[in-house]
Amino acid sequence: MVFGNVRSVRNKIDELAACCRFQHEYRESAVIALTETWLEEKDSDGTVSIDGFHLVRSDRKDINKQRGGGVAVYVNEKWRNQSTIKEKFCNDYIEYLVISHRPFYLPGEFNSVYFTIVYIPPSNDYSEATEKLSNCNNKIDNECPEGIKIVLGDFHGCVFHHTIPNYIQFVKCSTRENSTPDLMFCNVKNGYRVIKKPALGNSDYNMLY
């Protein structure tokens, strides 16, 4: 998988499509998860589509900050068999999108894969964002205890790991200058190794593979 903060996908869609065509890290990824998509209702799926990928998005709306935000995931058509949106949420403190997937193949001990794509804006108080995301994650854990659960995105310094002690945080490198706002948690130990990739366009965030 590939994920990162793109600070507007609208003006980077040609570059992202080229990456999906010519770079195997993108082309073979099961999902490409993006935060700060900056998409609005006027942006039809067709204007930000990528051949071979199914787009699922949750745009920012009805909150005080008009510009920014939004999360989305491009799901590789060669990987997915069935995808379901489980939950969407957006307020001043947190935005997230939860999707469950039934890939064409999974090891026998797992029955599905859940992705929660998160964007938490900078704040002096992350308590509400932590509580909301923790409740969402607990709900998923109870609903599907045998599934693979992945929580990733831009946390902007929100300390979330203490609420999910059974998950591992895999991002060990800086993702924006010398800081690490982008994190990835998973309930499968030793399941991933994160590699820093170049940013898309003029975003000041690195992509992660």
pLDDT band of residue 65 (cuts 50, 70, 90) is low
Instruction: Extract the tokens encoding 136.
Output: 């969402």
pLDDT for residue 81 is more than 90: no
* Joined tokens for residue 143: 């609903």
pTM to 2 decimal places = 0.94
Tell me the average pLDDT across 38-43. 90
The whole-number pLDDT of residue 26 equals 98
Q: Is it the case that residue 1 has pLDDT exceeding 90? A: yes
CATH of the domain at 163: 3.60.10.10
- Domain residue limits at 180: 2-208
Tell me what pLDDT residue 46 has: 92
Q: How many domains does the chain have?
A: 1
Instruction: Count the Cβ atoms, other than its own, within 10 Å of residue 179.
Output: 11
Separation of CA 8 from chain center: 14
Select from 103, 101, 96, 102 the least CA-distant residue to 118.
Answer: 96
pLDDT category of residue 102 using cuts at 50, 70 and 90: confident
For the CA atoms of 68, 71, 74, 79, the dihedral, rounded to the nearest 10 degrees, stands at 160
Average pLDDT value over all residues in the chain:
93
Q: Strand, helix or coil at 135?
A: helix
